A and B are shown apart, each in its own frame.
Chain A
Amino acid sequence: DAGVIQSPRHEVTEMGQEVTLRCKPISGHDYLFWYRQTMMRGLELLIYFNNNVPIDDSGMPEDRFSAKMPNASFSTLKIQPSEPRDSAVYFCASSLAWGQGTRTAEAFFGQGTRLTVV
């Protein structure tokens, strides 16, 4: 498997523009996570899906952010309109389902999308 695939790798956009980040999880993984990483705040969980259903979106900063997972092999994170403070590296990760008592739950990360909003 090629691992988690994200696109684009880099995105530079002007303030006010719509930005769409894409993610293809590892085949067979039930969980998909969107994270944002900045120097100030580290890695923050934005939203995660289980079997394509959004479970927890409490980390989404505001209504400008939305995420979808139309099928098991694809997810998008959209920012509309974008602002300079959205500049960060956005990671998508996927993982196999795990239940109570399971000891290991490795999350596999994509290479990230480095977003710069000017």
Chain B
Amino acid sequence: RKEVEQDPGPFNVPEGATVAFNCTYSNSASQSFFWYRQDCRKEPKLLMSVYSSGNEDGRFTAQLNRASQYISLLIRDSKLSDSATYLCVVNTMNSGYSTLTFGKGTMLLVSP
């Protein structure tokens, strides 16, 4: 099983739609979770952290289910500018050091 798995997509949605991405991780010792966004031919950038209680940032909602080792990202009222690849990222501590493991990403295409 891969460390971090995501549906590659692409997800094609019209403007205004709600879309959800899922991610599963294999290491139960993982401690922190994030969603990064990567625009075409650009570097990844942090979108939001994912907290155990779930968290919201404007149109974006992230949720974590530790028992199922599952993370989700919900985007409401999609905008054209949301078109990008969304990377699920897991931070695992190992012998006192931390590593970030990235999923391959889910591509989102928002059309007019």
Instruction: Point out residues on A near B: beta carbons under 8 Å.
Output: 31, 33, 35, 41-43, 45, 48, 50, 55-56, 91, 98, 100-107, 109-112
Q: Which of A31, A41, A91, A103 contacts B32 (CB 8 A)?
A: A103
Beta-carbon contact of B87 and A50 below 8 Å: no
Q: Is the interface of B mostly helix, strand, loop or mixed?
A: strand
A88 → chain B closest CB, angstroms: 13
B51 closest partner in A (C-beta)? A103
Q: A91-B43, A109-B43, A111-B42 are in contact. Are A104 and B97 (CB under 8 A)?
A: no
A43 closest partner in B (C-beta)? B102
Q: Which of B32, B43, B97 contacts A111 (CB 8 A)?
A: B43
Given contacts A42-B103, A43-B44, A43-B102, 5 further A-B contacts (CB under 8 A): A45-B99, A56-B99, A102-B32, A105-B91, A105-B100
Q: A105-B32, A109-B45 are in contact. Are A45 and B100 (CB under 8 A)?
A: yes
Beta-carbon contact of A105 and B98 below 8 Å: yes
B86 → chain A closest CB, angstroms: 12
Q: A43-B87, A109-B44 are in contact. Are A103 and B99 (CB under 8 A)?
A: no
A60 → chain B closest CB, angstroms: 14
Number of contacting residues on B, CB 8 A?
24
4 A-B pairs with the lowest CB-CB distances in the bound complex, closest first: A42-B104, A109-B43, A43-B102, A106-B46
Please name all residues of chain A whose beta carbon is closer than 8 Å to the beta carbon of B51 when the two chains form the complex: 103
Instruction: Point out residues on B near A: beta carbons under 8 Å.
Output: 31-32, 34, 42-46, 49, 51, 87, 91, 93-94, 96-105
Q: Which of B32, B42, B99 contacts A104 (CB 8 A)?
A: B32
Q: A103-B49, A103-B51 are in contact. Are A42 and B98 (CB under 8 A)?
A: no
CB<8 Å pairs between A and B, sample of 14: A35-B102, A41-B104, A42-B105, A43-B104, A56-B99, A91-B43, A98-B98, A100-B31, A104-B32, A107-B44, A107-B46, A109-B44, A111-B43, A112-B43
